[in-house]
Structure 1
Amino acid sequence: MGMFEQAWMRVSATVPLEPEVLVDDGTVYATLSYKPIGVVGAIGPWNWPMLISIWQIAPSLRMGNTVVLKPSENTTLSVLALCHVLNQVLPAGVLTVVAGDREVGAAMPGHPGIDKIMFTGSVATGRRIAEGASGTLKRLTLELGGNDAGIVLEDAFGDDEEANDAVAEGIFWGAFINTGQTCAALKRLYVPAAIYDTVCQALVRVARRMPMGVGLAEENVLGPLQNRNQFDVVDRLVEAAKASGADVLIGGDPDREAAGFFYPTTLIADIDPDDPLVVEEQFGPALPIIRYTDLDQAIAQANSLDVGLGASVWSSDKAAARAVAERIEAGTVWINAHGAIDPRVPFGGIKSSGYGVEFGVEGLKHVAVPHVING
């Protein structure tokens, strides 16, 4: 178990959630507390299998529930190992792992013995889970696709190359963490025309310093895509962008016959805002960089898709950045960072990126049921 999993478990175990006095006026005395739901059915993804499993398990157990966990069929062994460790100290039956293919996951939303579903994954699967849960009116937490936008303001980059590279590195890791296989990764970057070339050049410099390869070689900081299907999605979208006339600044030339699903770090410039690489979630190491001349237009383009998990604004003026952030339709908007999740801070999406939140006090409330006593 890694340090991130341990940190989330510690916060989930210790964050306070005390009964709240709602009204105490001498006539009415109303309190609000939270009780266990019962059985939480957790369906995990393949991109962060152990960490996201902890996001589901830890708060559910803290609030007094039991958990039935179905790991992704692509990453079963790591989750089985994680739960084996946890079950060394948990009472029997508190945490149960049910491994299997998609049919197992599909059976959980309609199962009468499960009281809530937590799911992280695709929008399409999230919709099927919501449909399956409708017959029993299960509570749901759905953290679905993102296709997160980042908006760079003109003052974010200047004449100092070293300072520019520092900002570019933050943007780079916002996009390419886990080789882009993160729901809340930065997946489309809007850059003003006045600094467009400067930003592109800085990102290329940073990308060239980030070696990709087998993880057993400690110099590598980027690895492969997890499965062939995801490799093919990224490949298709990049090839379509190239065919449209977009400019490949770096990457875009995978060795399709090599062992492993290594897709090279790819930056695509001068791309149409409606290109498939922009409007579809690529979920891999390819970042489209869209030029804009009007900030209102960039905000409108960022908000134009039916997803809203995360977003970011990059500026040396935090007040200006917050003003833009207020206008962006996303569950979380970061300033001068992207994807910086915190176990103390609620996280969840809007629109087709799902509903319900995880983390912090609000996350605990979503794996419990409110209980009001009035009188």
Structure 2
Amino acid sequence: MSGPRTLRNFVGGDYADTAEQRTYDLVDPVSEEVFAKAPLSREHDVDAALRAAADAFETWRDSTPAERQLALFRIAEDIERRAEEFVKVESENTGKPLGLTMSEEIPMALDAVRFFAGAARVLEGRSAGEYMAGHTSWIRREPVGVCGQVTPWNYPMLMAVWKWAPAIAAGNTVVLKPSDTTPASTLLTAEILAEHLPPGVFNVVCGDRDTGRALVAHPVPQMVSITGSVRAGTEVATAAAADLKRTHLELGGKAPVIVFDDADPAKAAAAIAEAGYFNAGQDCTAATRVLAGPGVHDDFLGALVEEAKGTVTGPPDEDVLYGPLNNADQFTKVSGFVDRLPGHAEVLTGGRRARDRGYFYSPTVVSGLRQSDEIVQNEVFGPVITVQRFSDEDEAVAWANGVEYGLASSVWTTDHGRALRVSRRLDFGCVWINCHIPLVAEMPHGGFKHSGHGKDLSMYGFDDYTRIKHVMSNHEE
């Protein structure tokens, strides 16, 4: 039997060894066994990738929007053609269900690539004009340069697409560091991009936090984009400030889900359970913090518990809603939140390991919580839904906004006026009404407060990867 395969960085259009040739183990979260070894990149390796990206930028920046669009369309075609291979690699690395990864993540990834392919040709700006006598001004929108990017382990393939597609469409070059636990699908992506892009436009360096620190601290990148925890975002912002780099931070969330008394408790519970437990709750927009009105609370809570009991977790080849937590540390973190619950809280279902092997955690519902409780204030990032009873609209909004995060939220009501009123008052980058978690490429995704700044998706996300230059011409010269 062959041992674990060894992955390699992707630099300058081909696979590359690291200078020290050190590796670390990648663990299958389903079996808890090592399935591959990944390179542990250090400063020399990061420098080589960034130099390749800088060299490529000198010519890629001059490519036309039509050329970039065509390349991205062809990349999307190849990803679609090799979709089953992507799903297999992603599932092996994360434990995600095969069927749901194919039906949910592949279409979203393809749609994002194709959206940004189109966006490359429709950049907008003010028309040229004479704003001073004898002078004509116009605006140039240019690529930023070399972009350092860091992606998380919850959606390795999809989050990478949200990073590299707009950057490359805008004429930038990229060095991307995937999460240390999930680099496999990003390296497969690099193979496909290399077939359609000049060498060095897209590079991948694997490694740990020190690898990411080297990427951020290096003088070459003009912009650093990260999707990750608040801790990671704060560290990136601090390091980038030393060199005045632009930052794009999509960080954690603690999405409030406000269920008013006029909502249908059974329908709301079914939709919220799916949005809370999908991907094992490992989503910064997950519907895991419910605030229920006094008249609907008990019926909703009962329905939610039944939904949780009917939710199945298991291996990727079975008919399940979600697979394991990503890694041993995350399993310990999620378990710790539940183990440390205060005496007034009650676990109504779940709250334990779901299988003897693998990092599976059971669908969990917790009630009786107070606004100041740790599990209400902090991101669990697991299949744990909390429920609080509010007294009126003002208290619901105050509790919803009473966390350090500001990424996503939802309002459940049949009262149109209330829906609009509350959506205005919620301090979150996204507010869904009578739904939770649908995303479309045309609309921005990003938060406020400790959830970071900058937008993924949409033309707003595309604009983040460009810079504005004013050019003025004197008519007399």
Q: Which moved more, 1:25-34 or 1:274-283?
A: 25-34
Given candidates 366, 388, 392, the residue that maps to 1:290 is 388
Q: Residue type of the partner of 1:94?
A: V
Paired residue for 1:100?
207
Partner of 1:222: 322
SS of equivalent residue, structure 2 residue 409: strand
What does residue 268 of structure 2 align with? 167
Shift of the 33–341 alpha-carbon distance from structure 1 to 2, 3 Å rule, reads farther
2:374 equivalent among 269, 276, 290: 276
The yes-or-no answer on 1:20 pairing with 2:20 is no
TM-score (norm 1): 0.93
SS at match of 1:216: coil
Give 1:302 deviation, angstroms.
1.2
Letter in 1 for 2:377: V
- Partner of 1:321, secondary structure, is helix
- How far apart, in 2, do the equivalents of 1:271 and 1:222 lie? 26
Which of residues 276, 279, 290 is equivalent to 1:189? 290
Q: CA deviation at 1:30?
A: 4.1
Question: Does the 8 Å contact 2:131/2:137 carry over to 1?
Answer: no
Kindly tell me: are residues 66 and 247 of structure 1, through their superposed partners in 2, closer, same or farther at Cα, counting changes over 3 Å?
same
- Equivalent position of 1:352 in the other structure: 450
Counterpart amino acid of residue 279 in structure 2: N
Q: Distance in 2 between matches of 1:359 and 1:78?
A: 20
The amino acid that maps onto 1:236 is G
Provide the residue aligned with 1:11 in structure 2. Answer: 115
Q: 1:62 aligns with which of 165, 169, 187?
A: 169
Among 252, 255, 261, which residue is 2:359 paired with? Answer: 261
SS class of match (2:417): helix
Indicate which of 51, 54, 64 corresponds to 2:158.
Answer: 51
Q: Residues 359 and 30 of structure 1: is their aligned pair in 2 closer, same or farther, counting only changes over 3 Å?
A: farther
Are the aligned partners of 2:262 and 2:413 in contact in 1 as well (CA < 8 Å)? yes
- SS across alignment from 2:376: helix
Residue 325 of structure 1 corresponds to 423
- Seen in structure 2, the aligned counterparts of structure 1 residues 288 and 23 have a Cα distance that, compared at 3 Å, is farther
**1:210 aligned to 2:314?**
no
Q: Deviations over 1:199-223 (max 9, x none)?
A: 1122123223321111111x11111
Q: Aligned partners of 1:273, 1:11: CA distance in 2, in Å?
A: 40
What residue number does 1:161 align with? none
Per the normalisation by structure 2, the TM-score is 0.74
C-alpha distance in structure 2 between counterparts of 1:280 and 1:370, whole Å: 37
Distance in 2 between residues matched to 1:7 and 1:101, nearest whole Å: 30
5+ residue gaps, structure 1, are 158-163
1:35-184 aligned at under 5 Å gives the runs 35-157=142-264, 164-184=265-285
Matched length: 366
Structure 1 window deviating more from structure 2 (101-110 vs 81-90): it is: 81-90
- Taking the aligned partners of 1:350 and 1:300, their CA distance within structure 2 comes to 16
Q: Report SS of the residue matched to 2:317.
A: coil
Give 1:18's aligned amino acid.
E
**Residue 10 and residue 203 in structure 1: after superposition, are their counterparts in 2 closer, same or farther (change >3 A)?**
same
- Aligned residue identity for 1:289: V
Larger-gyration structure (1/2): 2
Q: Deviations over 1:87-119 (max 9, x none)?
A: 222211110111112111011112111110010
Look up the match of 1:160.
none
By relative contact order (CA 8 Å, sep 6+), the higher-ranking structure is: 1
Q: Percent identity?
A: 35
Question: What runs of 5+ residues in structure 2 fail to find an aligned partner?
Answer: 1-78, 80-105
Q: For residue 288 of structure 2, give the secondary structure of its aligned residue in structure 1.
A: strand
Deviations 1:235-263 (A, max 9, x none): 1111222x4232222211325x8211101
Displacement of 1:33 in angstroms is: 3.5
1:168-203 CA-to-partner distances (Å, cap 9, x unmatched) read: 222122222211001111231100111111111221
Native 8 Å contact 1:349 1:355 kept in 2? yes
Aligned partners of 1:146 and 1:310 also within 8 Å:
yes
2:54 aligned residue:
none
Q: Residue 232 of structure 1: which of 332, 353, 356 is its match?
A: 332
Q: Deviations for 1:311-343, whole angstroms, at most 9, x for unmatched residues?
A: 111111233112111111111111112222221
Query: What is the Cα-based RMSD across aligned positions, in Å?
Result: 1.7
CA contact (8 A) 1:303 1:329 kept: yes
